[in-house]
């Protein structure tokens, strides 16, 4: 029984996906559960798995193609099956990268952070097609090439055919150094890629195709900066006591080490719990105030940013927030977050202090009513008790949706946040 491979939605916001890589070629054996391709969604690179056994009969999308949810990508079947009725007028061979959609669609339910394909269809009279010989490479159970997530990402970004790279890691696993070595050699495994920069004939400019993440960011920003009546509140906090507390915690052992950002996240969550008017969403015909604090944490990744969520952040201790923020940030950079990990925030924080930015304004992520922009912690001259000294200060700017948050409401929230950060022992009880 032939099986359709279709583009599926992995999140409520996904409308299309970009095919990053085929792990199976025409003629190769496919077993149910094999990872047959990698697809870039609007938030992450996910795995497309087979839901049927057979051979890869026809690939109907090229690496780099963008296809709408439900579009037909490939067909899996037995070598003797006639699949003409399934592929319709689709091309016999995969062509150049295109954003057009192939014929055929199907509906499926996603039950895990992996893509799948539709249920098997009918069996037709024989029409054999010869298998295509493929390069040999180390594979894991299920047919997936042994490679680290970082190696797969670097190969995709560099237009490198991963299956043509020899792995030097344990058991033939492909690791970062293998990708870098192949790129330096100018390996024949390097292939054209829609994601790579293509110089113009005159070399006056480069056209860079949009990734799915960048498309989503652009759409969300257009929904925010124009329609949302935004105002900004900036405050400067003294983090001298926070610095002292961090040093004392570090002296107690590695398990107690926390960053300035961890403390700021904890203080923000605690302040939000006391100000539900700020921990709110604008829903058009009503304002939703949340009784739980789910804090979005903006993380920069190579082609944009994503905001994983620390759920019930106000109820978690500093250590737990520190561990969770590190894990979420790492998964975000590897494009391995599941939809459940980046959806559902009630308020967000964006920190550019590690890049030496003193102060900036962040764009609200609708339907959230506010976002906090965190600058760098810096030593500044201060006058205290008539004497000149040095203190660690921090500037924060809060972007507020005026339909939800009034000026006084936002100011009161920042007063509470100041109290938390300038008296940080309140955060450990």
Sorted by where each starts, the structural domains of the chain and their CATH numbers stand as 1-134 (2.40.50.100), 136-198 (no CATH), 213-427 (3.30.559.10)
Residue 61 CA to residue 44 CA, distance in Å, equals: 19
The pLDDT of residue 275? 97
Q: Does residue 65 contact residue 178 with C-beta atoms inside 8 Å?
A: no
Q: Are 115 and 46 in contact (CB under 8 A)?
A: yes
Q: Write out the catalytic residue numbers.
A: 402
How crowded is residue 235: how many other Cβ atoms within 10 Å of its Cβ? 15
Predicted pLDDT at 414: 98
Closest Cα partner for 265 from 192, 374, 173, 352?
374
Question: What's CA 93's distance to the chain center, in Å?
Answer: 32
> For residue 171, what pLDDT is reported?
67
Using CB atoms within 10 A of its CB, is residue 132 exposed (0-12), middle (13-18) or buried (19+)?
exposed
C-alpha neighbours within 13 Å on the C-beta side of residue 358: 6
At residue 63's C-alpha, the angle toward residues 308 and 184, to 5°, is 85
Supply the DSSP symbol for 162: G
pLDDT given at position 218: 76
113: closest CA among 323, 336, 263, 320? Answer: 336
Nearby residues of 424 by Cβ (< 8 Å), 6 or more positions away:
241, 242, 245, 263, 267
Ordered mean pLDDT values, 10 residues apiece, the chain (429 residues): 81 79 92 88 81 89 88 90 76 38 31 38 40 45 61 75 75 79 65 46 65 76 77 96 93 89 96 96 92 95 88 95 95 88 95 94 93 96 89 96 94 97 88
Distance, CA of 43 to CA of 66 (rounded, Å): 14
| CA 225 to each of CA 210, 299, 304, 306, 416: distance values in angstroms, whole numbers, following the listed order | 20, 20, 17, 18, 27
SS3 of 357, please? coil
| 52-65 core/surface letters (b: 16 or more CB in 10 A; e: else) | bbbbbbbbbbbbbb
**9 pairs with which residues across the strands?**
none
């Amino acid at each position: 029984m032939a099986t359709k491979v279709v583009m599926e939605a992995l999140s409520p916001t996904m409308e299309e996906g970009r095919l990053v890589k085929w792990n199976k070629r025409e003629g190769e054996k496919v077993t149910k559960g094999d990872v047959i391709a990698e697809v870039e969604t609007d938030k992450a690179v996910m795995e497309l798995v087979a839901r049927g056994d057979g051979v890869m009969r026809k690939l109907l999308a090229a690496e780099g193609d963008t296809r709408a949810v439900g579009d037909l990508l490939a067909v899996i079947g037995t070598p003797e099956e006639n699949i003409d009725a399934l592929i319709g007028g689709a091309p016999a061979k995969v062509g150049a990268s295109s954003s057009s959609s192939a014929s055929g669609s199907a509906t499926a339910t996603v039950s895990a952070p992996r893509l799948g394909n539709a249920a098997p269809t009918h069996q037709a009279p024989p029409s054999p097609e010869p298998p295509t010989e493929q390069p040999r490479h180390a594979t894991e159970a299920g047919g997936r090439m042994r490679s680290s997530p970082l190696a797969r990402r670097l190969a995709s970004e560099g237009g490198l055919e991963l299956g043509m790279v020899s792995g030097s890691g344990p058991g033939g696993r492909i690791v970062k150094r293998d990708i870098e070595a192949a790129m330096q050699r100018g390996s024949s495994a390097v292939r054209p890629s829609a994601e790579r920069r293509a110089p113009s004939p005159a070399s006056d400019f480069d056209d860079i195709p949009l990734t799915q993440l960048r498309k989503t960011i652009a759409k969300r920003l257009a929904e925010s900066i124009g329609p949302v009546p935004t105002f900004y509140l900036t405050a400067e906090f003294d983090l001298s006591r926070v610095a002292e507390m961090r040093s004392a915690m570090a002296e107690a052992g590695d398990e107690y080490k926390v960053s300035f950002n961890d403390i700021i996240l904890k203080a923000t969550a605690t302040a939000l719990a006391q100000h539900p008017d700020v921990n709110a969403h604008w829903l058009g015909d009503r304002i939703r105030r949340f009784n739980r604090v789910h804090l979005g944490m903006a993380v920069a990744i190579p082609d944009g940013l994503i905001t994983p969520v620390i759920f019930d952040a106000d109820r978690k201790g500093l250590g737990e927030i520190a561990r969770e923020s590190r894990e979420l940030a790492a998964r975000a950079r590897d494009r391995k977050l599941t939809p459940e990990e980046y959806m559902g925030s009630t308020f967000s924080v964006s920190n550019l202090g590690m890049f030496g930015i003193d102060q900036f304004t962040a764009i609200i992520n609708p339907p959230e009513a506010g976002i906090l922009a965190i600058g760098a912690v810096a030593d500044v001259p201060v006058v205290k008790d008539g004497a000149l000294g040095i203190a660690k200060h921090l500037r924060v700017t809060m972007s507020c949706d005026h339909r939800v948050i009034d000026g006084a409401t936002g100011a009161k929230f920042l007063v509470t946040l100041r109290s938390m950060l300038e008296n940080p022992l309140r955060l450990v009880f």
